[in-house]
Amino acid sequence: MISQVFILSSKGDHLIYKDFRGEAGNDIVSIFYEKVTALTGDQPPVVMTGRCNVDCFRGNTLYVCAFES
C-alpha cells in the first residue's frame, strides 16, 4: 500500500510531498535521491532501500515516486 507520494526535480528539490500514513519520515526522499543519482545509465523503476520500496519514473527533469513499505 502506498504511504507517500513525492515529486522531485532532477536536482533533488522537493516539489510535491504527501505523506498519507506516517510510516516513514521525510528522510526517505533523500535516501531515494542518493541511490538514484549513484546509479549509472538508466534507473530501474523500483529502488529498494532495505526497509521499503520506492516505485518511480523519470519524465524529462522530474522524478515521480511512490513509497511503499
Which domains are delineated in the chain? 2-68 (3.30.450.60)
Full-model pTM: 0.71
Tell me what pLDDT residue 51 has: 67
Tell me what pLDDT residue 60 has: 78
Per residue, what are the HEC states of the chain? CEEEEEEEECCCCEEEEEECCCCCCCHHHHHHHHHHHHCCCCCCCEEECCCCEEEEEEECCEEEEEEEC
Across residues 10-34, what is the average pLDDT?
A: 81
